[in-house]
Amino acid sequence: MRGIVKRVLQYISVKTLILSLLAFGCLFLAGILSLCQLQLKQGLVEQDMAARWSKKKDAAQISAFFAQDQVENSTYFRNAGAELDQALVTASITLEEENQDARLWMDAISRQGKVSLVSERGKAEINAIGIKGDFFQFHPMSLVSGTYISQDSLMKDGIMMDEETAWNLFGSNDVAGMQVTLNGVPHVIVGVFERPEGRIHRAAGLEKAICFLGLDSLEQYGTAQGGYFYEIVMPNPIKGFALSTMNQVLKAETTEVKIVENSTRYELLSLIKVIQGFGTRSMSSESIIYPYWENIARGYEDIFALFLVIKTLLLLYPAVLFVIVMVKLYQRRTWSIGKAIHVMADKYYEMETKRRERKEKQSYQD
C-alpha cells in the first residue's frame, strides 16, 4: 500500500495535492452539514404531518395564523371546512377507500392564553393552549403519564399539564385522573407531558409552564390572547394546490392572516427566499402573535438558510477547481472533437453490424 502511495505521489506535485485535499475537505464539510440538517429536520415532527398522513407524497400541511379579532369564533373554521369539501368536489378529489372512518383531510384549531389552576395543594398561573380537533396528531408530545386529550373530550373538562405544573400543584407527575379548578370549575387531568427543552424552544415560548385544554374552556374560564391558529393536512395532487385552495377558503388576502405550507418550508427555493429576506425578515407590521411551534419552525428556517449559504461557499471551491482541471485537460488533449465523433460513429456502426448478424443467425436457426 505504501509503495502505491509513493508511486502516485511521484506524479503529483505538492501544490496539486494540497489543492485536491482542500477540495475533498470542502466536500466532506458540506456533507457533514447536509447530514446535520437531515437529522434536525427529522426532529421537527410538527412540520411533517403530510408525510405521516400520506406515504404517496400527495398531501400538504398548511398552517394559518390570524390576528386578534380577525375571526370572531371557531365556528368560522367549520364553515371553512364546508367550503373546502365543495372545492375538493369541484376538483374531482374524492375518497377512494370504502372505510367510513376515512377522511380526505384533518384539521386542528387552537389559541393561546393564560389560565389559573387551583388544586388542594396550591395555585398556578400558567400559559395555556386551547385546542379543538386533532391537535395532537399535528403536535405529538412526549407523555410522562396519562394520555392525550381526545377529540371527543374537547368539549368537556379534560386538561393536560407539563411536569413542572404537576409537581407544583400535586408534588407528583403521576396525577392523571385528579382534578384542578379553573375559575371555580373542576377539570380532570388526563395526562402529563414533558415540556421540550433547548435554547430554541425556550426562546420560542416554552421557557415557562404550559398546559393544554379544550378551546371552549380557555375562552370561558381563562384569558385568551391573540388570534386563532388553524392547521390542516389535505390532498395536494399538484404542487401549490393545497396552499392556493386554503388561501381562497380562508380568505387570506390581508396582512392580518399568514398562511404557510409547512410541507415545503425547508426546500431549496423556500430557503433561498429566507436568505433574500435577510435583514428585513424580522421587520413586520403584522399584528399576529405566533405560537411556540411556529416560532420554532421559523428559527430552524434561519438555521437551514445559514447551512445553505455555508454549503454553497464550500462547494464553490471544488466546482471551480473541477472546471479549471477540465479546461487544462482539454487544452492538453491529443484528440479532436471531430476524431472523437468519428470513433463513436465507428463503434456504433460496429455494434449495429453485430446486432444484425445475431438477428440473421437466430432467424436461420429458427
pLDDT band per the 50, 70, 90 thresholds, residue 189 = very high
Q: Which amino acid is at 185?
A: V
Q: Provide the pLDDT confidence category of residue 2 given band limits of 50, 70 and 90.
A: low
Q: What is the mean pLDDT of residues 47-72?
A: 92
CB 121 within 8 A of CB 169: yes
Whether the CB-CB separation of 146 and 192 falls below 8 Å is answered with yes
Contact 141, 219 (CB under 8 A): no
At residue 252, what are phi and psi to the nearest 5 degrees? -85, 75
DSSP state of 237: S
Question: Which residue, chain included where needed, has cell 475537505?
Answer: 25
Strands 185-194, 158-162: pairing kind: parallel
pLDDT tens digits, one per residue of 193-231: 999 998 999 999 999 999 999 999 999 999 999 999 999
pLDDT score for 336:
67
Contact in structure between 107 and 199 (CB atoms under 8 Å): no
| Residues 330, 341: Cα–Cα separation, whole Å | 15
Encode pLDDT of 104-157 as tens digits: 999 999 999 999 999 988 899 999 999 999 999 999 999 999 999 887 654 478
Residue 49: the pLDDT is 95
Residue ranges of the domains in the chain? 48-264
Q: Mean pLDDT throughout 258-264?
A: 94
| 98 or 357, which is more confident | 357
**What would the pLDDT profile of 316-326 be if each residue is shown by its tens digit?**
999 998 888 88
d(CA 365, CA 96): 53
Q: Burial letters for 248-281: b for 16+ Cβ neighbours within 10 Å, e otherwise?
A: ebbebeeebbbebbbbbbbeeeebeebeeeeeee
pLDDT of residue 72: 86
Cell of 195: 415540556
From first CA to last CA, the distance across the chain in angstroms is 55
The answer to whether the beta carbons of residues 48 and 261 sit under 8 Å apart is no
Q: What share of the chain is helix, strand, coil (3-state, %, to 5)?
A: 50, 20, 30
Residue 155: the pLDDT is 47
* pTM over the 0.75 mark: yes
